[in-house]
Amino acid sequence: MRRLLIGLLLLLNCLALPAGASALPKLAAPPAPAVAPDPLGRETPRSTISGLIGALAEHDYDRAAQYFDQPVGSPRQRVTAAARARGFQSLLDNGGTLQPYALLSNEANGRIDDELPVDQEFVGQITVQGKKVPVLLARADDDGRQVWRVAAATVEQVAIATRRSSAADMEDDGLIVAGAPLKDWAMLVGLGVVIFGGLWMIALLVVAGARRLVSDPASNGLFRFLEAALPPASLLLAVGLFFTLAERLPVAIVARQTLLRYTGIVSVVALVWFGLRLVDAIAELAIARMQKRQRRQVVSVITLLRRTAKVLLLLFSGIGILDTFGIDVTTGIAALGIGGIALALGAQKTVENLVGSVTVIADRPAQVGDFVKVGDVLGTVEDVGIRSTRIRTGERTVVTIPNGDLSARQIENFAARDRFLFNPVIALDYRTPSGKLKEGIAIIREVLQGHDKIGEGARANLARITERAFNIEVHSYIEVRDFDTNVIVREELLLALVERLEAVGIKLAFPAQTIVFSPEESPAPVSLRKGDD
């Protein structure tokens, strides 16, 4: 019975399958075997030349021969290939050139914007029989991998030159350091020192001469530019001259290519140094001019742009230096998209403050130097930064408010006032007769209308009568923008009002209370007898 039930269940399961479906599951196709990376690192033109130079520096010509498109199967072929690798090094040492490390393509497909076929790459040139012959790389399949090697046409030219060269021409001379003669290293380093030292001295002389010719160096834009640009520009020019002259020196290709590779780091440093000094010079000149024109908000914008430009320059310089050391930064840059999401989740306040700083600078609710009130903080704005704004309080303390919070708060800017309200309440004594009261109101109006700092529409009216005084309310505006001037004018008005009222015998009210008793309610006089305390 149990077997019958199992059979029925299997039959129903088969009937439930759709037409054309197999009862047995299909086996998944085995994944394609992963291609192992090339052990010699010949995936890109840059890595091929770098690996070849490394093998030549170690005088490992058997390994260097594997970077050439030539057979190396038999022992005789390996010997021939090693000899050609050595001959190739000799050709490079004697007038041959290779492109600098930074100019070599680091893509698996090489450069596609040149006029060569897509599977060929130009990387330098050698001299064969007095003629310049290009050094080409060719891309081909090697055990399922696409690798770059020195093209067969270039290998053939190397073979021709090798047959005409004697073994003595290929011998290294002198002490070998890091794969090259010591004299070659000294020649290249000495060339760099002479070029940079000479240009540096010229830059210093030009700056010193310009300083004497300019009456006010601090505010002269041309002098500030020369002072900021000439030292790093001399270093940048020295790098360019070194690249040009080093290729013409009869030195070992290992020394030349190594120094040219790391000279690229010096060029990046020089370029960033030039950019940083130029940004500082332009920013300081612009800030000085904006301060003279009282455009304080522009100072905040210039400061923010200055810091942003510096951060970007340092970021790009770091990418360039990492690329020179052979570290692939494209993957890291591509990961910034995912990293940006994580950054937005983990640094929400930082992003909020950055957006808030843009809002503060764009809306300009407060400028550097303004007297403002933000919440319960009252003081003068000293700096509007990328992350926060600093306010100097009346007690000389500094309050730092994140720009994200600042942009969301109510900001009261006292420096933006075009005039000051003058509305004191003048209380006259309640015993003042009506005639004197009218005369006092007229005097107050005359004082207001007679002052040149009081705007039109000033008025003074009897506002209310209390049990102690007649309150005359003044409503007017002092037409000044400066707070200190407003204080002086306010004092002048109040003193004039007091003097004019006193001159006609009108007294100001003061807190007093008079109690009057009727004769029946008055207390009996108390007489003191002699001897009573």
pLDDT tens profile 24-44? 444 444 554 556 788 888 889
Q: How large is the average pLDDT for residues 147-174?
A: 72
Residue 17 has pLDDT above 70, yes or no: no
Is the pTM here over 0.75, yes or no? no
Q: Bridge-partner residues for 177, per DSSP? A: 180
Phi then psi dihedrals of residue 512, to 5 deg: -150, 155
Q: How large is the average pLDDT for residues 442-471?
A: 91
* Order of strands, sheet of 131-142, starting from the edge strand that comes earlier in the sequence: 97-98, 120-128, 131-142, 145-150
Structure confidence at residue 298 as a pLDDT band (50, 70, 90): low
What distance in Å separates the CA atoms of residue 457 and residue 461, rounded to the nearest whole number?
A: 13
What distance in Å separates the CA atoms of residue 448 and residue 257, rounded to the nearest whole number?
A: 86
Residue 4 has pLDDT above 50, yes or no: no
Tokens of 209: 């001469």
Question: Got the DSSP string for 41-105?
Answer: --SSHHHHHHHHHHHHHTT-HHHHHTTBSS---SHHHHHHHHHHHHHHHHHHHTT-EE--GGGS-
Tokens of 25: 């599951």
Q: Bridge-partner residues for 388, per DSSP? A: 402
Query: In the prediction, which pLDDT does 526 show?
Result: 53
Query: Which SS3 state, helix, strand or coil, does residue 474 take?
Result: strand
**Which one has a higher pLDDT value, 449 or 12?**
449
Structure confidence at residue 201 as a pLDDT band (50, 70, 90): confident
Residue 438 has pLDDT above 90, yes or no: yes
Cα atoms in the 13 Å half-sphere on the side-chain side of 190: 8
Contact 428, 508 (CB under 8 A): yes
Over pLDDT 90: what percentage of the chain?
Answer: 18
**Exposure letters 257-284 (e unless 16+ CB within 10 A, then b):** bbbbbebbbbbbbbbbbbbbbbbebbbe
Q: How large is the average pLDDT for residues 485-495?
A: 93
Contact 179, 89 (CB under 8 A): no
Q: What average pLDDT does the chain have?
A: 79
Residue 393 has pLDDT above 90, yes or no: yes
Angle (CA) 216 218 219, round 5°: 75
Structure confidence at residue 494 as a pLDDT band (50, 70, 90): very high
Where does residue 179 rank: exposed (0-12), middle (13-18), buried (19+ CB within 10 A)? buried
Q: How large is the average pLDDT for residues 93-111?
A: 83
Q: What is the DSSP letter of 217?
A: G
The winner for highest mean pLDDT among 274-283, 457-466, 513-522 is 457-466
Which residues, other chains included, contact 415 with Cβ-Cβ below 8 Å and sequence gap of 6+?
367, 369, 370, 371, 372
**Which one has a higher pLDDT value, 443 or 357?**
443
